[in-house]
Amino acid sequence: MPLYDPEPPTSLARIIPSDVTLRFDDSADQQPQIILEIKAKEVAAELQSDSHLPKITYRFNATDVKHGAEETLSASHLKTTFSPVETPQFIRQTQNLPTPEWSSGDQAHPVEPAVVLGFMPLENGWAQLPVPNLTEQIYLDSESNQEPEVDREPQTQSHTDPPIALVQGALSLGNDRHAVLSHYANEQPWSLTITDADALQGTWTLTIEGSSLKLTAISLELQNPAVILNGFFWLSTGQPRLQDALPDLDNWVAGLRSIPLKTVSPQDVFPSVMLLEWPELTLQVRADAAMPSAALKPWQFSYTIDPDNLKELTDKKVLPKNIFRNELPSTLPLIWQRHPYLPMIQALPLTQNQLPANYPSASRQLVPYELDAISTESPRPQEWRFAVTSNQGLRSGRTVLEKLSRLKLGRKLLICPSCRFQYQG
């Protein structure tokens, strides 16, 4: 990179390898090649055989003459979470809810309410997702927090010691630059930032063509990476309305807020109960030379729990064991969507609190479905999966992978349609 580059990178990361190998390959079935292999640290032997170990894989292939070079980055088996303190605080502030209190000792009882509801927009409705109603003070009072680890005292660190982190700096990829978003207006802003990893190994392949070398392939693998995701998990900034118990998007400028996600770490000061698990998240360099940037391939995540962290909080009577199978209608996890088989025409909104009563409601055709929970001593979410099935990002809509026909209609709700007509489609 030139010293005075007029367009410097928005992020910069450096990795110091521990092992470098350079070899010459002149196999008869291909052109002579020079292969460079690097390694930086190694994961524990018992983890190397784990097929679900989180990984980030980078691939570059310049051998496709017809379509040009192909460049992709794929993250697999990521386990991420939002801040278990800041996210419920955000929901309480936007919905004007009180801050919960909890007392330790023999008279301890679970927090009430145990969850607050975050509203995530879907392609044609809303997902009403439970977020444990915790605060920093509750973590401290229940001794459920962890002391931050310090690997080495700064004053005792020698200049000859290797860096503590494998990755120095950070590598951020995405489309959140203004020039890119203005060119691809149908996409939501997003970014994926790599801040560290347990180990790295990679291979560079250079083909000898006459008196010159051509880079033809790169393969890199980061094992157990530390990642921050922005622009993938959005919640409403509005308050559920009295008319239909849902927020709206009348504030189309600031009606949604992106909730940052980070990979789970054993050193997290406040261990989170909720997890967002990503089977695979793939980025690909666009072929458009006018505005080179990363494009998201279709992706999905599961909204689930960390059973160990939940058990610790339930054992200490901070949270109830039936947190995901609550009898209170106001805390039920729901999917609000149109019925897949029964289109509806409604003369009145879902409640009669709308003024005037015959004013059309934007959510008048949305039906509440209860998200199912596995029946155990501490019920937990069962296949709460959400996906974006196109390359257009969230602007094309997030869908529910679980078939709505398998979900139960919300029968415990306090609201009901005041006038509804159904006809077979």
Please state the domain extents for the chain.
Answer: 12-422
- At 292, list the tokens: 């080179």
Residue linked to tokens 């994961």: 43
- 304 vs 43, residue with greater confidence: 304
The predicted pLDDT at position 44 comes to: 63
The predicted pLDDT at position 154 comes to: 45
Mean pLDDT, the chain, rounded, equals: 80
For 27-63, the pLDDT digits (tens) are: 757 788 889 999 988 766 656 667 789 999 999 998 6
Burial class (CB in 10 A: 0-12, 13-18, 19+), 296: buried
Q: What share of the chain is helix, strand, coil (3-state, %, to 5)?
A: 10, 35, 55
From 124-133, 139-148, 154-163, the region with the lowest mean pLDDT: 154-163
The predicted pLDDT at position 335 comes to: 87
Stretch 104-125: mean pLDDT? 88
Name, in order, each residue with C-beta under 8 angstroms of 303's C-beta and a sequence gap of 6 or more: 129, 274, 275, 276, 381, 384, 385, 386
From 47-61, 85-99, 186-200, the region with the lowest mean pLDDT: 47-61
**Model confidence band, residue 234 (pLDDT cutoffs 50, 70, 90):** very high
The predicted pLDDT at position 7 comes to: 61
The predicted pLDDT at position 425 comes to: 39
For the ranges 38-47, 143-152, 237-246, the maximum mean pLDDT occurs at: 237-246
Does the structure show a pLDDT above 70 at 346?
no
Does the structure show a pLDDT above 90 at 341?
no
The predicted pLDDT at position 161 comes to: 52
Does the structure show a pLDDT above 90 at 81?
yes
| pTM for this prediction | 0.84
From 30-34, 151-155, 381-385, the region with the lowest mean pLDDT: 151-155
Find out whether 274 and 295 touch, Cβ atoms under 8 Å. no
- 415 vs 43, residue with greater confidence: 43
- 221 vs 330, residue with greater confidence: 221
Q: Which residues make beta-bridge pairs with 381?
A: 373
The predicted pLDDT at position 414 comes to: 41
Find out whether 79 and 54 touch, Cβ atoms under 8 Å. yes
